[in-house]
Homo-oligomer: A and B are copies of this chain.
Amino acid sequence: MIDTHIHADARSSEDFEKMFISGIDTAITCAFYPYNLMNEVVLLNHLERILNYDTERAKKYGIDLKVALGIHPSNIIKSPKIVFDKLNEYIEKKSIVAIGEIGLEDLSNEEKNIFKKQLEIADETNTNVIIHTPRKNKLEVLKEIKKIVLETIDPNLVIIDHINLNVIDEVIKEDFTLGLTVQPKKMEVDEAVAILKEYGFDNFLLNSDISNMPSDPISVPKTIRTLKKLGFDSKDIDKVAFKNAEKIFNL
């Protein structure tokens, strides 16, 4: 099973153990520093830590931790160039499976410029991007993300994450892959199941987005086991359990 979006740096060894026992073999951890950054070196240190430290920590518990790195919209820095250069280096060395999570929150020009630049790097290097959509003004921000993305990058490289029933119609007809985040107080297993039942299993990924916000490290196994209990076709279940993720991330 693959959990396609977590924040391993915010989680404990015990969580990795629970995840592994519940059937998760691989997880993709995304960049996000949970506090104001004094400068770009703090963000670089965060990225290097994820790449070199959290991957090893997860490995001890059987989890193959793949990495997505980038500048999260809550981590806007004044001199992003040093990070853009580093992203190109990571891509060249095949250290990361995607640029992420990136996206928009406040729709400021600074945020849009950094988002667009990262999409350009992804498009030029044929790299996937994992795009965050916010809690507040989700539909409004999603529309802006969709506009910028369609102007800038091949939509087949794009995963738009944290999609729910309220906003899905805005993006379902494009060639994006969509992420369903099953998370306490945001999206229950039932809503993910309802979306898959209505829209099919081909273009969706499942994830827990575990971070230091309220989380459930085994929300992906819970969703997969619920689909099984409800009698969905095992070929469909396999798509969201691991096959779609293997395909898009080339795992």
Contacts and interface: CB of A to CB of B under 8 A. Distances in A.
A35 B55 CA distance: 12
Contacts of A36: 45, 48
A15 B14 CA distance: 11
Interface string A2-18: 00000000111111000
Contact of A12 (B15, B42, B49): B15
**Which of A34, A36, A45, A213 has the most CB atoms of chain B within a 10 A radius of its CB?**
A45
B215 A12 contact: yes
Interface in A1-55: 10-15, 34-39, 41-42, 44-45, 48-49, 52-53
Contacts of A45: 35-38, 42
Contact of A41 (B11, B13, B42): B42
Interface residues of A, number: 26
B53 A35 contact: yes
Contacts of A53: 34-35
Nearest to A11: B12
A57 B34 CA distance: 11
A171 B215 CA distance: 42
Given A212-B12, A214-B14, A215-B13, A38 B44 contact: yes
A106 to B, nearest CB: 19
A247 B190 CA distance: 50
Contacts of A35: 45, 48-49, 52-53
Nearest to A44: B38
Contacts of A42: 41-42, 45
Interface of A: 10-15, 34-39, 41-42, 44-45, 48-49, 52-53, 57, 210, 212-215
Given A12-B215, A42-B42, 17 more contacts: A12-B15, A12-B210, A12-B212, A13-B212, A13-B214, A13-B215, A14-B214, A35-B45, A35-B48, A35-B49, A35-B53, A36-B45, A37-B45, A39-B41, A41-B41, A41-B42, A57-B212
